[in-house]
Structure 1
Amino acid sequence: MDTTELVFRRADDADAGEIAEVWLRSFTAALPTVRRAHTDEEVRDWFSYVVVPRYETWVAVADGSVVGLLVLDDGELEQLYLEPSWRGRGVGDRLVELAKQRRPDGLGLWTFQVNEPAGRFYERHGFVAVERTDGLRNEEREPDVRYMWEPLGE
């Protein structure tokens, strides 16, 4: 039985580098066929200078290390990524519940169509697919799907 204590807290500037590393490892593990639109260094800069300072960013921390991240912007769940070894351990479930608590009027998000596990995950949490695109509107040029969660729908 895993007895590691998880702490969920708002991210601060000191977390940005570790958050970026989790994002990079998670993206690589979950989306091996998706072309990344930015270099590792650009991703690190984006978290340091854009995401953490400007958006509501949360981290899940275990044993002093970031194992998950959640980024909210208005009614959008912009980012939810987990350290690959932490998938399937309830961290994502808790981050989605946190997002719903923070945005009780509803949430929207985009995920890539190829990421079927993410689609199943969000559907288990009450999100409904409302739009599919050919990917021409995202930087990766990867077909994606829009999900919405409304509290009355649960």
Structure 2
Amino acid sequence: MRRMDDNTAHEAIIRRAGALDAAQVAEVWLRSYDAALPTVRRAHSDDEVRDYFRAVVIPERETWVVEEPGGPVVGVLVLQEGRIDQLYLAPDRRGQGLGDRFVALAKRRHPTGLDLWTFQVNTPAHRFYERHGFTEAERTDGSANEEGEPDIRYVWDGRGAATQNRPGR
């Protein structure tokens, strides 16, 4: 397994997803979800997830992918109406700056603010989003999501956007 260093992470390409990316995007989502959330019951089968990305996510939502030059898709970011709807990286690509680049892109696309939901059991995601200036806005018992899993809504209000990602902050 090759680890990307900081230079390689910056060489990775972020671009809008197209129809031909749907299969790879779904596979990243499936691998990432299973690795990050092993205790959370998925509400849909692998084939249903693949169909959803092909028929709904890619054609109807603002979907971005990250790929290594000449390589496969290793991450997906889905934005919808000021919300980070999905942010998933291949398990072997976490901690290499790709998620940081996705959040920076989301903030540029929605400079007045963003929100997102993450499961309460996903403490690495809490640390990641809090590091990027998101704050907890509410907690639920999970009765409103398909998984029935308690979750947290995070918000970033866009204030101080010009200084939040400066080195040393």
TM-score range, shorter chain: over 0.9
The answer as to 2:93 corresponding to 1:60 is no
> Unpaired runs of 5+ in structure 2?
165-169
Superposed, which structure 2 residues align to 1:63-102 within 5 Å? 63-102=70-109
Q: Please, which of 25, 31, 55 is the counterpart of residue 25 of structure 1?
A: 31
Amino acid at match of 1:60: V
| Aligned-partner Cα distance in 2 for 1:78–1:33 | 21
Deviations 1:35-62 (A, max 9, x none): 0000000000000000000000000011
**Are the equivalent residues in 1 in contact too, given 2:112–2:159 (CA < 8 A)?**
no
Aligned partner of 1:13 in structure 2 is 19
The answer as to 2:138 corresponding to 1:131 is yes
Count of residue pairs the alignment pairs up: 154
| Aligned-partner Cα distance in 2 for 1:106–1:130 | 13
The answer as to 2:129 corresponding to 1:122 is yes
| Aligned-partner Cα distance in 1 for 2:13–2:92 | 17
Structure 1 residue 74 displacement after superposition: 1.1
> Unpaired runs of 5+ in structure 1?
none
TM-score (norm 2): 0.88
Deviations 1:60-86 (A, max 9, x none): 011321011100001111000000000
**Are the equivalent residues in 1 in contact too, given 2:141–2:151 (CA < 8 A)?**
yes
CA RMSD of aligned residues (A): 1.1
Question: Where in structure 1 do 4 or more consecutive aligned residues deviate above 6 Å?
Answer: none
Q: In percent, how many aligned pairs have the same letter? A: 64
- The secondary structure found in structure 2 opposite 1:78 is strand
Q: Please, which of 43, 48, 51 is the counterpart of residue 49 of structure 2?
A: 43
| Aligned-partner Cα distance in 2 for 1:151–1:111 | 19
